[in-house]
């Protein structure tokens, strides 16, 4: 989860989306684990990485990958102005170790820092958080959920492999279909897959399938079945 254009509003929107997907996972009986969470001073989310484990979790959630747009009266505006915010959700599979994705040690820049994750004061005094940069692609992964460097490094490498796998499969699909373009890197106007409008009217609309709901509160509380079902039927 990454906050996009919109400053404090976008980071608050990323927080709301993170809660929405956590609630959806709870309703499905899936387990969620926060791997990395970077907040701002207003409890908004700059970026977050979390793991979801459960039956058909990836198959149901992969269609949620993309830019999500929110239109509302900004709680950060003293003049109560309407504001548009964006956040990007990336959905990756958990790959088996036997998956054909090679990651060379020479291609990695690995650094360690004090963990801000769970585990108590003793953990935070040691450099347990892991940041991996894949130099050929520029992909960065940060994990601080576990008590030790080795565990965080293993999780970070698994996320990196999943990202590389997703890029490879997307490239293959485009080659087969004769498509051009890239996964959106600008989290702003024109790239959203879904809009959540709170003001001046109430509506959630998926721009790919046309699915709509006027019950914005229910959707933001994790009621995503309508949109996921329409996506699966595309």
Sketch out the chain's domains with CATH numbers: 2-94+185-232 (3.30.70.1660), 105-177 (3.30.160.20)
Q: Are 118 and 106 in contact (CB under 8 A)?
A: no
Task: Show the low-confidence residues of the chain (pLDDT under 70).
Answer: 98, 115-126, 174-186
Which whole-number Å values give the CA distances from 105 to 102, 108, 110, 133, in the listed order? 10, 5, 9, 11
| Predicted TM-score (pTM) above 0.75 | yes
d(CA 76, CA 70): 14
pLDDT at 183: 45
pLDDT at 126: 63
pLDDT at 90: 95
Encode pLDDT of 195-229 as tens digits. Answer: 999 999 999 999 999 999 999 999 999 999 999 99
- Sheet with 139-143, strands from edge to edge, namely 108-113, 129-134, 139-143
pLDDT at 185: 52
pLDDT at 168: 87
Encode pLDDT of 21-45 as tens digits. Answer: 999 999 999 999 999 999 999 999 9
DSSP string, 113-129: E---SSS-HHHHTS--E
């Amino acid at each position: 989860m990454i906050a996009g254009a919109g400053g404090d509003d976008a980071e608050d929107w990323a927080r709301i989306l993170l809660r929405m997907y956590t609630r959806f996972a709870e309703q499905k009986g899936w387990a969620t684990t926060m791997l990395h969470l970077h907040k701002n001073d207003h409890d908004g989310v700059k970026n977050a990485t979390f793991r979801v484990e459960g039956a058909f979790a990836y198959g149901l959630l992969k269609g949620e990958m993309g830019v999500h747009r929110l239109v509302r009266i900004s709680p950060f505006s003293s003049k109560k102005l309407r504001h548009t915010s964006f956040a990007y959700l990336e959905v990756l599979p958990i790959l088996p170790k036997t998956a054909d994705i090679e990651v060379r040690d020479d291609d990695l820049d690995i650094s360690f820092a004090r963990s801000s994750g769970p585990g108590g004061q003793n953990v935070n005094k040691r450099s347990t958080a892991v940041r991996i940069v894949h130099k050929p692609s520029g992909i960065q992964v940060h994990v601080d959920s576990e008590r030790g460097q080795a565990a965080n490094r293993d999780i970070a490498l698994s996320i990196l492999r999943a990202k590389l796998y997703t890029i490879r499969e997307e490239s293959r699909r485009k080659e087969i279909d004769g498509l051009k373009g890239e996964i959106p890197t600008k989290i702003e106007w024109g790239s959203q897959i879904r809009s959540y409008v709170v003001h001046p009217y109430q509506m959630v609309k998926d721009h790919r399938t046309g699915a709509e709901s006027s019950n914005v509160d229910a959707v933001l509380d994790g009621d995503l079945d309508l949109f996921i079902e329409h996506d699966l039927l595309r």
